[in-house]
Amino acid sequence: MIFENRNGALVALRSGEKLEIRPWGEDSLRVRATMQGDFTGKDWALTEEYKKTDAKIDIYEEDFWVGDGSIAKQPIASITNGKIKQPIASITNGKIKAVVNFAGVITFYKDDKQILREYYRSYGGTLSKESRCLKTVNREWKGIIGGSEYSLNLKFESNPGEKIFGMGQYQQECMELKGCVLELAQRNSQISVPFAVSSLGYGFLWNNPAVGRVSFGKNYTEWIARATKDMDYWITAADTPKKILENYTAVTGRADMFPEDLMGLWQCKLRYRTQEEVLSVARKYKEEGIKIDQIVIDFFHWTVQGDWKFDKTYWPDPKAMVDELHSMGIKVIVSVWPSVDRKSENFYPMMEKGLLIKTERGAAQTYDYQGDCVEIDPFNPETRKYVWDVCKKNYYDYGIDAFWLDNSEPDYGVYDFENYRYCDGPALELSNMYPQMYSRVFYDEMSKLGKPVVNLLRCAWAGSQKYGNVVWSGDVPSTFEAFRDQLQCGLNMGLAGIPWWTTDIGGFMTDDVNDPDFRQLLIRWYQFAVYSAVLRMHGDRGPYNIPPLDTRDWGGGYLHTGQPNELWSYGEDNYAIMKKYYDIRIEMHDYIKSLYEEAHTNGSPLIRAMFYEFPDDAKCWELQDQYMFGAKYLVAPVMNLNQFKRDVYLPEGKWKLTSTGEIYDGKQTVNVAAPIEYMPVFEHILY
């Protein structure tokens, strides 16, 4: 292996591969490799200016064991750090140090303690007598026949006892990811945000939007990109998860400051079909004395997908509607999908200009719900301009405040990623970044207009937090099992750097709103949502016995609507509970504002894993059924049917149960009452 010092980076050349390790922010390193001579120059999620540090690299020869008992000489590079010189190539940046041996195997150290090492099982592959003849290498490149990309398989040694969190949102029971296999791909309710937080004190970003897989195995960790030109990852070391998130968001971006007038209740359902329905709901809330901050106009208010405009039959005067809502202090958000129906007035102009996703074979179709559709290609700047110009004219200029960017994965009819292509390359190479590029259709233009940008999306990628994205957990079932999954989803999304996260209260898919079990679920979910980033009523509520407004098979009147989904829709007893918790939300306004300020200044999520606030408490690394809402409130959701008490673990300190005012000592598990009217919440007195 040939080592060089190039502008403060350690560069190694071996067997056609170029490897570069460069300081990239506080206590952090960026590692890239390519088989194509030079890097693509894409920074992907690493968009922010980072703190520059210097590195001194020396190149000399060192003895090493060949394998037959003899000793040979190899060129080795080292970096001098104070009076310590490493006998193999290394680069140090504060707490973290990367060491590269003569076979190109990288080992990372935090404060001189090994935290991560690439996996290598080949003859002569280590500096010890533990070499193997398996021919398993740390970075395996395989050229894709007929293409310029490679498939990449990168392996790391597995660390016994290590716990791994983050990585975005996966609909599963597991919050702790060691032993899990995760698809690196976007789907409805699955969000790949490839940043992992380790209990060993490091964070790891797979800075690559390619479709692939990661396996956090017991024997080794394996990252796979199905099509890529570069290997690119970033690693940081810190003493606490909070500092890891601070380092990570310093280089990928942080959320803007969230507007104070959106920290209360958002009202939504599938679906308000007419302008008058929206106004009647808003007027009723005003009569009830409940201030809603935003009302959401869901899908198929349009003529056909891709027209991106109101159907005038049912929305005759959008500006008058918006003006009345604004007069009540209510903002308005409207659904926009990336799908364009062949019947849309925009389909053929966009198809001719190359603004839609292309298929590699077969018909030009990527989506088939309620129409024959092709979805937009937001990697193309001309697409972004076209869609924004249409939406500005048909929505924003009426006073619409924000956009609900649904189906933002995009939701392909079939997730055959190898069959789709964007203007920047094949979907296999880029697709995980689609939701972020879709959000920028709106964020890039709206942010120029001087108002805060808060749009609602169903998907995200690393760095999406800086583009005004409230991310919700997708179309999940209305079950307690799904509810339990959503809590770990939200905690892991926060650990992946996405602080503005929410859910459909009660789940999305409901068969019967009159079922007492569903109503119990709704209340438990609502109580949880009050102690989350965004309080938002939404759901597709059965039974579907409401006749359509229109007999046509297109336009704003033909599609079904769900049952009412306002706070008063579920009986007086439940309404009283929801009003009580609404008042709690409003009373916490200043505190919630302070949490949004934290997200803006240091990247901290609003809902936090217990170990985020108590990293020295081993018990907190085991918990996934309770969480911290900021540093002050410990929240214990009730996530089982007919459960009216539960155990809660209290870390060190003094804790006040908000229902009774009783004070508890920490470092113990307590059993507390949880009647339907109350979800256990403890206030940290020493906060």
Q: Which residue in 540, 564, 568, 561 sits closest to 314, CA to CA?
A: 561
User: Three-state SS for 488?
Assistant: helix
pLDDT per position as a tens digit, 585-637: 999 999 999 999 999 999 999 999 999 999 999 999 999 999 999 999 999 99
Q: pLDDT band for position 202 (50/70/90)? A: very high
Residue 233 is predicted with a pLDDT of 97
Where are the extended beta strands (E) located within 396-550? 402-405, 420-422, 425-426, 455-457, 469-472, 501-502, 509-510, 535-537, 540-541
Rounded to whole angstroms, what are the CA distances from 14 to 4, 100, 104, 227?
12, 12, 8, 21
Residue 655 is predicted with a pLDDT of 98
Position of tokens 């929206």? 278
Joined tokens for residue 395: 């929505």
Enumerate the H helices of 407-454 as residue ranges.
427-430, 434-446
For residue 475, indicate whether it is catalytic.
Answer: yes
Report CA torsion sign: 34, 38, 44, 46: positive
Residue 544 is predicted with a pLDDT of 95
Give 314 or 79, the one with higher predicted confidence: 314
Between 275-288 and 318-327, two packed helices, what is the crossing angle to 10 degrees?
A: 10
User: In this structure, are residues 502 and 231 in contact, taking their beta carbons and an 8 Å threshold?
Assistant: no
Taking the C-alpha atoms of residue 604 and residue 532, their distance in angstroms, rounded to an integer, is 13
Rounded to an integer, the average pLDDT of 65-89 is: 54
Q: Is the peptide bond before 259 cis (omega within 30 degrees of 0)?
A: no
End-to-end Cα distance, the chain: 53
Q: Which CATH superfamily is domain 2-252 in?
A: glycosyl hydrolase (family 31) (2.60.40.1760)
Taking the C-alpha atoms of residue 532 and residue 608, their distance in angstroms, rounded to an integer, is 10
For residue 222, indicate whether it is catalytic.
Answer: no
Position of tokens 């053929």? 348
Joined tokens for residue 49: 């200016």
- Alpha carbon 395 to chain centroid, angstroms: 27
Taking the C-alpha atoms of residue 399 and residue 394, their distance in angstroms, rounded to an integer, is 10
Residue 477 is predicted with a pLDDT of 98
β 469-472/509-510 pair status? unpaired
Between 480-495 and 516-530, two packed helices, what is the crossing angle to 10 degrees?
A: 20
Residue 405 burial (C-beta neighbours within 10 Å; 0-12, 13-18, 19+)? buried
Task: Provide, rounded to the nearest whole percent, the portion of the chain with pLDDT above 90.
Answer: 86
Residue 129 is predicted with a pLDDT of 45
Beta bridge partners of 663: 656
Rounded to an integer, the average pLDDT of 472-491 is: 98
Enumerate the H helices of 229-296 as residue ranges.
241-252, 275-288
Residue 299 pLDDT > 70 = yes
Residue 125 is predicted with a pLDDT of 45
Tell me, what DSSP letter sits at residue 207? -
Among the residue ranges 148-157, 312-321, 414-423, 548-557, the one predicted with the least confidence is: 548-557
Residue 126 pLDDT > 50 = no
Residue 448 pLDDT > 70 = yes
Largest CA distance in the chain: 88
Rounded to an integer, the average pLDDT of 498-515 is: 97
Residue 209 is predicted with a pLDDT of 98
Q: pLDDT band for position 78 (50/70/90)? A: very low
Position of tokens 């290590």? 162
Residue 167 is predicted with a pLDDT of 99
347-385 in b/e form (b: 16+ CB < 10 A) is beebeeeebbbbbeeeeebbbeebbbbbbbbbbbeebbe
Rounded to whole angstroms, what are the CA distances from 560 to 271, 299, 334, 527, 556?
8, 11, 18, 29, 10
What single letter denotes the amino acid at residue 296? V
Exactly one of 406, 445, 613, 625 is catalytic; name it: 406
What single letter denotes the amino acid at residue 464? S
Residue 123 pLDDT > 70 = no
Q: How many CB atoms lie within 10 A of CB 394?
A: 18
Q: pLDDT band for position 80 (50/70/90)? A: very low
User: Three-state SS for 462?
Assistant: coil
What single letter denotes the amino acid at residue 76? I
Residue 642 pLDDT > 60 = yes
Q: Which residue in 113, 535, 71 sits closest to 290, CA to CA?
A: 535
Beta bridge partners of 228: 150
Residue 5 is predicted with a pLDDT of 86
What single letter denotes the amino acid at residue 668? Q
Give 101 or 403, the one with higher predicted confidence: 403
Q: pLDDT band for position 8 (50/70/90)? A: confident
β 202-206/191-198 pair status? antiparallel
Taking the C-alpha atoms of residue 15 and residue 35, their distance in angstroms, rounded to an integer, is 9
Q: What is the mean pLDDT of the chain?
A: 94
User: In this structure, are residues 608 and 627 in contact, taking their beta carbons and an 8 Å threshold?
Assistant: yes
Taking the C-alpha atoms of residue 640 and residue 483, their distance in angstroms, rounded to an integer, is 9
Q: Is the peptide bond before 543 cis (omega within 30 degrees of 0)?
A: yes
Among the residue ranges 129-133, 176-180, 244-248, 647-651, the one predicted with the least confidence is: 129-133
- Is the CATH number of domain 260-336+380-405+450-602 3.40.50.2300? no
Taking the C-alpha atoms of residue 88 and residue 61, their distance in angstroms, rounded to an integer, is 9
- Is the CATH number of domain 609-684 2.60.40.1180? yes
User: Three-state SS for 465?
Assistant: helix
User: In this structure, are residues 467 and 440 in contact, taking their beta carbons and an 8 Å threshold?
Assistant: yes
Q: Which residue in 641, 673, 638, 626 sits closest to 519, CA to CA?
A: 641
User: In this structure, are residues 28 and 251 in contact, taking their beta carbons and an 8 Å threshold?
Assistant: yes
Q: How many CB atoms lie within 10 A of CB 610?
A: 22
Please determine whether the domains at 2-252 and 609-684 fall in the same fold group of CATH.
yes
Among the residue ranges 20-24, 84-88, 272-276, the one predicted with the least confidence is: 84-88
For residue 112, indicate whether it is catalytic.
Answer: no
Residue 219 burial (C-beta neighbours within 10 Å; 0-12, 13-18, 19+)? exposed
Rounded to an integer, the average pLDDT of 87-96 is: 78
pLDDT per position as a tens digit, 127-181: 444 456 888 999 999 999 988 999 999 999 999 999 999 999 999 999 999 999 9
pLDDT per position as a tens digit, 457-466: 999 999 999 9
Residue 67 is predicted with a pLDDT of 59
User: Three-state SS for 667?
Assistant: coil
Exactly one of 20, 409, 613, 625 is catalytic; name it: 409
Rounded to an integer, the average pLDDT of 80-92 is: 53
Residue 94 is predicted with a pLDDT of 81
Helix (H) or strand (E) holding 15: none
Taking the C-alpha atoms of residue 202 and residue 426, their distance in angstroms, rounded to an integer, is 32
Q: Is the peptide bond before 524 cis (omega within 30 degrees of 0)?
A: no
Give 562 or 7, the one with higher predicted confidence: 562
β 150-157/220-228 pair status? antiparallel
Q: Which residue in 502, 461, 362 sits closest to 421, CA to CA?
A: 362
Exactly one of 377, 475, 504, 566 is catalytic; name it: 475
Beta bridge partners of 17: 14
Residue 124 pLDDT > 60 = no
Q: What are phi and psi of 484, to 5 degrees?
A: -60, -40
Q: What are phi and psi of 520, to 5 degrees?
A: -65, -45
Whole-model pTM? 0.96
Helix (H) or strand (E) holding 491: helix 480-495
Q: Where are the domains of the chain?
A: 2-252, 260-336+380-405+450-602, 337-379+406-449, 609-684
pLDDT per position as a tens digit, 339-389: 999 999 999 999 999 999 999 999 999 999 999 999 999 999 999 999 999
